[in-house]
Structure 1
């Protein structure tokens, strides 16, 4: 049995990026935890009104439902402002991730790709890498970055931003679980041909699967591994 932690910027990122893999870990008996750093809502409002607060809580309720569907052991929420992580000191984000590392002692970390168009994703990756720097007392042996549809593939075309997966996880048995978890975020799901549609989630998993010799897969870029 192992312990894994997914560090994400917004509720639903965990399901879009690594839902099938987290469900596979849970089915195997691993301890699975999620840390959500941002509220995922406030960029849609001019200020933090009671309506915004209510929507934040609704989004968290959906995240809890998705986490339950995936079978994870815990989901924790921070309160950083949506689409404004670049306005915060990196140290503040890093300290929140460090708190989660101290609490869970994960061996494996999943987080966003560093080249994503969404600035919150990019900063989350950097904070995770900083918090999990390879000190002698760190429990973390591997860090893997996932793609987030509508943020990774829409990034600025640059060799510094391209997602280059090196690890493929078989989610043939958990793809339906991933889709069911995503359905908890009904307000965030779009109609085809949008990349955040259920059709796109399923098609992308099957495409990565076909590319790696499986029926369905999630792709990751290995950021660090310690053996």
Structure 2
């Protein structure tokens, strides 16, 4: 099965569905990640940008990501980009990759980059023409979803009891993003959320998603 993960920023893919990525990749699914934005000068140094590229490579290797896409839009400035440009870029990736499932950020995440990517993904996956996408999920991103409007409704739970350790390892690769507890973007908080979702689903550790749409053929 082909699965596309759309990440507004590098590390969103790990925070939102790192355990699921590793699990599905280990079962033979082809997982690709689309990184929508990236750091840019002079807001970030050249050294920071180069290091971020290395972090992405390491994290994706840990999770078994087959291929990466970089759209190159400026981080925290997506509102300066025409929506049609963002829509087109994501639609082209879907057209060429032909994924059956897509995981996207939640509509009420605090960061506006996340909300704009959510909207663009819905436009790109409209069930018209030859769109391949049959399942659309939103994931919860620590430090974004819980700080937003609180409308995330978990209705799909993925058992990541065997892959949480890989999610943790992948997040460790993002040293520039990792914080100390009680910040939600910390290793302890990641494990705590996995335990919370597990307590709601009967697993040891779990990731949760909101299934938006499912087209059965």
Greater shift after overlay, 109-118 or 48-57? 48-57
Check the 8 A contact 2:106/2:152 in 1, yes or no. Answer: yes
Aligned pair partner of 1:222 in 202, 211, 216: 211
Q: Report the counterpart of residue 85 of structure 1 in structure 2.
A: 78
Match of 2:15 in 1: 16
1:179 to 156, 168, 175: 168
1:45 is matched with which residue?
none
Distance in structure 2 (CA, Å) of the matches to 1:113 and 1:142: 15
| Deviation, structure 1 residue 50 | 9.4
Deviation by residue 1:142-192 (Cα, 9 ceiling, x = unmatched): 01000111111111x4xxx51111111111111001000000001211111
TM-score (norm 1): 0.91
TM-score normalised by length of structure 2: 0.95
Deviations 1:42-93 (A, max 9, x none): 4xxxxx2396343223212211110000011011212111111122211111
SS in 2 for 1:224: strand
Match of 1:58 in 2: 51
Distance between the aligned counterparts of 1:163 and 1:51, measured in 2? 32
Partner of 1:207: 196
Deviates more, 1:57-66 or 1:7-16: 57-66
**Aligned 1:65-76 pairs, distance under 5 A:** 65-76=58-69
Specify every segment of 5 or more residues in structure 1 that has no aligned partner in the other structure, as ranges: 43-47
Separation of aligned partners in 2, 1:144 and 1:50: 32
Aligned length: 216
Change (3 A) 1:50 1:168: closer
